[in-house]
């Protein structure tokens, strides 16, 4: 028995039979509707015309090919960090180190791009992605191994590593004469900045005219598909699914749960790192500490993953959704959709979806508790 609020006559009772199909389908829809209502109320309270705001948002993000392209720009890092978080969280592994793994990915990718980028995109692109994945995987291995073998809480350790990676980033560009830093030119020490990667290492955008898809987004789609196949259609994914929900069963079946734990962390770190590589290759073409750290893609990715219920295909949708909202916040320059609405809307949607999940595990009962029967 549990009360919704202390001493309130509504209770939540754990479901013992399977969740009815209609509940499973209705809850996210209901959640979105509920969120929609709340957002409209907040807009009204802020003196905005909700219709204008929604219209502005749609215009900026989906109603034209250039708008969609802009949305994809915002959605790309979220897709990758979202997938990274989804694969870990689905397995009950609370990897919040996506932020730091992204930074490490950016560092590795830009380093490789600076070194061999002049040899052409055919070499630079895969090399950047690979280097990023290795770096991200190694960075994620630390909390992974510490948890698997020393039982150290992975939330805390991965959080600490985020700060450390951020400081590493700062140091490379702001406080050292590293390979990444541009020390030539008069402005080099006035405003620290990194070396621009060779133009031939810039990642191509696919598409024509007003419509272009960042390469990183395509990579994200491929990763989503691969993850889906991995989890549902490979025996490794099978083992991960079993040990995630039932560690006792995993032991009984001889599955190596510690090793599997680390594998998932490595995978998660590698994917988050691709987001960093994409930031460098697709968009900034330079290692930019501020630009990488302020949007907090890693943390937002966790929210994206949660919205998509940790299912790789659904994560694509939620990344697009959040990308659209973020993009509207950035690109609508008028008062009808101030950038501050981005976080408000995203937060409300997430809270509603998160809160609605309880209905699939519990049902609502009004009144006093009946005595339970156990012999």
Partner 1 sequence: MPSEPDSRVALAAYAVTKRFPGVVANDNVDFEVLSGEVHALLGENGSGKTTLCKMLTGMYQPTAGRIEVDGKPVVLHSPADAHHNGIFMVHQHFSLVERLTVAENVMLGWSLDGSRIRFKRRKAEQEVARLAEQYEMPVDAGKMIGDLSIGERQRVEILKALCRGARVLILDEPTTVLTPQEADRLFASVRGLAKAGNSVIFISHKLHEVLAVSDRVSVLRRGVMTGTVELGDHAAAVDRKELARMMVGREIELGRRQRAARAQEAPAAGLEIKELVVHNDLGILAVDRINLNVAAGEVLGVAGVAGNGQREFAEAIAGVRPRSGGEVCVGGTPVRSGRPLAALAAGMAFVPEDRMGIGLASGIDVAENLVLKSFRTGAFSRGPLIRRGRVVENANALLSGYELRGGPASLVGQLSGGNAQKVLLAREMASQPKVLVIAAPTRGLDVGVTETVRKLIAEAADRGTAVVMISEDLDEVLDLADRVAVMSGGRITGIVDAEGADVEEIGLLMMGQEQAA
Partner 2 sequence: MNHGLAIQLIATGIFYGTPMAIAALGELLAERSGVLNLGVEGMMLMGAVVAFWVSRDVSGPNGLVLIIAVLAGAAAAAAISLIHAFMTITLRANQVVSGLALTIFAGATGLSSYVGDLANLGGNPGRHIMNAINVFGLKNVPILGPIIFNQPALVYISWMIAFAIYWYVNKTRQGLHLRAVGENPEAADAMGVSVVRYRYAHVLMGGALAGVGGSFYTLVISSEWTDGITSGAGWIALALVILAFWRPAGVLAGAYLFGVVSALGANLSARGVQLPPEVFSALPYVLTIVVLAIVSSGWGRGRFGAPAALGVPYARDGG
**Is residue 238 within the footprint of partner 2 (CB under 8 A)?**
no
Q: Are 106 and 293 in contact (CB under 8 A)?
A: no
Q: Is the dihedral of CA 209, 212, 215, 221 positive or negative?
A: negative
Please, what is the minimum distance in Å from the beta carbon of residue 147 to partner 2? Answer: 9
Among positions 51-90, residues that touch partner 2 (CB under 8 A) are 89
Q: Which stretch binds partner 1 (CB under 8 A): 71-79, 122-130, 246-254, 280-288?
A: 246-254
344 binds, among partner 1, partner 2, none (CB under 5 to 8 A by kind): partner 2
- 221 sits in the region (left: phi over 0; alpha: psi -120 to 50; else beta) called alpha
SS3 362: strand
Q: Are 4 and 10 in contact (CB under 8 A)?
A: yes
Give the DSSP letter of residue 304.
Answer: H
> Of residues 25, 29, 249, 354, which one binds partner 2 by CB under 8 A?
354
236 binds, among partner 2, partner 1, none (CB under 5 to 8 A by kind): partner 1
First-to-last C-alpha distance (Å) of the chain: 18
d(CA 351, CA 354): 5
**Is residue 340 within the footprint of partner 1 (CB under 8 A)?**
no
Among positions 295-324, residues that touch partner 2 (CB under 8 A) are 296, 299-300, 302-303, 306
Count the site residues for partner 2 by CB under 8 A: 60
- Number of alpha carbons in the 13 Å side-chain half-sphere of residue 120: 2
**Is residue 344 within the footprint of partner 2 (CB under 8 A)?**
yes
Among positions 163-192, residues that touch partner 2 (CB under 8 A) are 163-164, 167-168, 170-171, 175-176
Any bridge partners for residue 194, and if so which?
A: 181
Host H or E run for residue 230: helix 215-233
Among positions 113-142, residues that touch partner 2 (CB under 8 A) are 142
- Number of alpha carbons in the 13 Å side-chain half-sphere of residue 145: 6
**Is residue 238 within the footprint of partner 1 (CB under 8 A)?**
yes
Count the site residues for partner 1 by CB under 8 A: 23
**Is residue 242 within the footprint of partner 1 (CB under 8 A)?**
yes
Q: Are 255 and 242 in contact (CB under 8 A)?
A: yes
Please, what is the minimum distance in Å from the beta carbon of residue 191 to partner 1? Answer: 50
d(CA 267, CA 140): 8
Q: Are 181 and 173 in contact (CB under 8 A)?
A: yes
d(CA 145, CA 265): 9
> Of residues 123, 168, 241, 360, which one binds partner 1 by CB under 8 A?
241
> Of residues 109, 117, 329, 337, which one binds partner 2 by CB under 8 A?
329
Among positions 356-375, residues that touch partner 1 (CB under 8 A) are 371, 373, 375
> Of residues 24, 63, 64, 153, which one binds partner 2 by CB under 8 A?
153
d(CA 12, CA 367): 11
Binding residues for partner 2 (CB under 8 A) = 1-6, 12-14, 46-47, 89, 94, 96, 142, 146, 149-153, 155-157, 159-161, 163-164, 167-168, 170-171, 175-176, 296, 299-300, 302-303, 306, 329, 338-344, 346-348, 350-351, 354-355, 357-358, 361-362
Binding residues for partner 1 (CB under 8 A) = 17-18, 229, 232-236, 238, 241-242, 244-246, 248-249, 251-254, 371, 373, 375
């Amino acid at each position: 028995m549990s009360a919704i609020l202390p001493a309130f006559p509504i209770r939540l009772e754990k479901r013992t039979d399977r969740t009815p199909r209609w509940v499973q389908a209705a809850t996210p829809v209901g959640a979105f509707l509920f969120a929609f209502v709340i957002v409209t109320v907040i807009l009204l309270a802020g003196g905005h015309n909700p219709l204008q705001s929604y219209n502005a948002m749609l215009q900026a993000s989906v109603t034209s090919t250039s708008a969609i392209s802009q949305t994809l720009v915002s959605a790309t890092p979220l897709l990758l960090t979202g997938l990274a978080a989804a694969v870990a969280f689905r397995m009950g592994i609370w990897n919040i180190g996506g932020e730091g793994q992204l930074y490490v990915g950016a560092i590795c990718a830009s380093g490789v791009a600076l070194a061999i980028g002049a040899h052409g995109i055919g070499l630079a692109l895969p090399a950047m992605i690979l280097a990023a994945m290795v770096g991200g995987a190694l960075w994620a291995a630390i909390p992974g191994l510490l948890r698997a073998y020393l039982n150290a809480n992975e939330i805390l350790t991965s959080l600490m590593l985020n700060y450390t990676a951020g400081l590493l980033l700062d140091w490379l560009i702001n406080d050292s004469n590293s390979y990444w830093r541009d020390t030539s030119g008069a402005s080099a020490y006035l405003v620290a900045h990194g070396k621009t990667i060779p133009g031939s290492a810039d990642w191509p955008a696919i598409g024509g005219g007003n419509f272009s898809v960042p390469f990183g987004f395509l990579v994200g789609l491929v990763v989503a598909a691969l993850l889906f196949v991995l989890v549902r259609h490979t025996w490794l994914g099978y083992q991960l699914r079993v040990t995630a929900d039932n560690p006792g069963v995993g032991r009984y079946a001889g599955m190596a749960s510690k090793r599997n734990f680390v594998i998932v962390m490595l995978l998660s770190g590698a994917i988050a790192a691709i987001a960093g590589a994409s930031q460098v290759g697709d968009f900034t073409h330079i290692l930019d500490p501020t630009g990488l750290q302020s949007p907090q893609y890693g943390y937002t990715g966790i929210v994206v993953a949660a919205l998509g219920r940790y299912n790789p295909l659904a994560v694509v949708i939620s990344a697009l959704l959040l990308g659209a909202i973020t993009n509207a916040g950035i690109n609508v320059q008028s008062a009808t959709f101030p950038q501050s609405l981005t976080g408000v809307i995203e937060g409300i949607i997430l809270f509603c979806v998160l809160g609605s999940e309880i209905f699939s595990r519990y049902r609502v009962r009004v009144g006093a508790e009946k005595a339970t029967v156990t012999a």
